[in-house]
Amino acid sequence: MRRSLAVFTISGTLLLAAAIHIRAIAQKSPTPPAMTQSVVTHHATAQAKRPTQQLSKLDRQEFDYILKQVKTGKIATTDFAMTIQAIAQEFRGYRYTADLLDQAEPEILRLSLKQFDCVLFIEAMLGLTRTVHSHDPTESQFVAQIQAQRYRNGQVSDYCSRLHYFSEWILENQRQGRVKDLGAELKGIPLNRTLDFMSQNWRKYPRQAHARNRRCIKAMEQQLGRVNLRYVPTNQIRASYPRLKPGDIVAIATRIPGLDVTHTGLVYRTPNGGTGMIHAAPRVGVIVSQDLHRYVQQLGNESIGILVARPLAPQAF
């Protein structure tokens, strides 16, 4: 056996506990769960070049295992959406770790295939899938995919070059041809949100202890203006199931002032044909929630619905 990790399925008390913890993190933790990424302007004093991050030995074992599964046909690549789900399944039970990108200055490309927060899980699964669907399924291709997803124009310069607000992550990756926002197609409601949570709550973010980071975050938020991505209200999620595909990106929209989303995951087609979500959840790690609508509904009044974006195969945009 490759791994002997526990596999969890959220339901009942466990689901409610995870929901409560997600809400608590959005209010108390150094970084809200879905805000490990956001759009920005480059700092005039940013270093021109950052150290190149490579996979650790243990991460490389995970990467090589996925490549082997693809080469032997155990993970099929004939359908891009199903490849995302098949790869994501391989990481069920893996650990959730918060603030992986905010350990210290300076900003560098940090990578992990052993532990995730909710956004890093999405980035890793999409990065792996795009890599195995490319003409260059190598570690360097995977590293390039992660950097391209995480930073504006794919350039690492400073703290503010990272995509912190997830709605801006969607917009930037759509601009680059990696995802397609489905809000209009799903007849969603405009979010109509001014994003300023990070500047208003800067003490929650350790790296904003540096005045230059506070200044650039404030400038970034002002540049973003009002975000009008469309979200599917909670009571309409179930009706959207027929239009969702495995691997579609789901972000839980919130009513918290100045914030867009509090959690993210990927649509998961269950063995019985149901529509659930696979995600890296606080405390329990990478899990499958069997019903997407029920999961969002049990998060309580802070959650208002979901943003949805579809990952695109290389050169499919």
- Tell me, yes or no, whether 2 lies in a domain: no
Q: What is the 3-state secondary structure (H, E, C) of the chain?
A: CCCCCCCEEECHHHHHHHHHHHHHHHHHCCCCCCCCECCCCCCCCCCCCCCCCCCCHHHHHHHHHHHHHHHCCCCCCCCHHHHHHHHHHCCCCCEECCCCCCCCCCCCCCCCCCEECHHHHHHHHHHHHHHHCCCCCCHHHHHHHHHHHHEHHHCCCCHHHECECHHHHHHHHHHCCCEEECCCCCCCEECCEECCHHHHCHHHCHHHHCHHHHHHHHHHHHHHCEECCEEEEHHHCHHHHHHCCCCCEEEEEECCCCCCEEEEEEEEECCCCCEEEEEEECCCEEEEECCHHHHHHCCCCCEEEEEEEEECCCCCC
Bridge partner list, 37: 164
Question: What is the Cα–Cα distance from 117 to 279, expressed in whole angstroms?
Answer: 9
Q: What confidence score (pLDDT) does residue 176 get?
A: 95
Residue-wise pLDDT for 20-75, tens only, equals: 333 333 333 333 333 333 333 333 333 334 445 689 999 999 999 999 999 999 99
Which residue range forms the structural domain that includes residue 286? 13-41+56-311
- Tell me, yes or no, whether 83 lies in a domain: yes
Q: What confidence score (pLDDT) does residue 52 get?
A: 54
- Tell me, yes or no, whether 48 lies in a domain: no
Q: What confidence score (pLDDT) does residue 32 get?
A: 39
The per-residue pLDDT string of the chain (317 residues; one tens digit each, 9 = 90 and over) reads: 344 343 333 333 333 334 433 333 333 333 333 333 333 333 333 333 444 568 999 999 999 999 999 999 999 999 999 999 999 999 999 999 998 999 888 999 999 999 999 999 999 999 999 999 999 899 999 999 999 999 999 999 999 999 999 999 999 999 999 999 999 999 999 999 999 999 999 999 989 999 999 999 999 999 998 898 999 999 999 999 999 999 999 999 999 999 999 999 999 999 999 999 999 999 999 999 999 999 999 998 889 999 999 999 987 44
Residue-wise pLDDT for 127-154, tens only, equals: 999 999 999 899 999 999 999 999 999 9
Domain total of the chain: 1
pTM, two decimal places: 0.84
- Tell me, yes or no, whether 145 lies in a domain: yes
Burial annotation 35-54 (CB, 10 A radius, 16+ → b, else e): bbbbbbeebeebeeebeeee
- Sequence-separated (6 or more) residues with CB below 8 Å from residue 222: none
- Tell me, yes or no, whether 147 lies in a domain: yes
- Tell me, yes or no, whether 8 lies in a domain: no
What's the CATH number where 69 sits?
A: 1.10.3670.10
Give me the chain's average pLDDT, please. Answer: 86
Q: What confidence score (pLDDT) does residue 197 get?
A: 97
Amino acid at the residue 114: K
Pairing of strands 230-233, 189-190: antiparallel
- Tell me, yes or no, whether 78 lies in a domain: yes
Residue linked to tokens 């689901």: 15
- Asked whether the beta carbons of 82 and 272 are under 8 A apart, the reply is no
- Tell me, yes or no, whether 317 lies in a domain: no
Going from the C-alpha of 118 to that of each of 138, 275, 278, 287, the distances in angstroms are 24, 19, 10, 11
Which phi and psi (to 5°) does residue 147 adopt? Answer: -60, -40
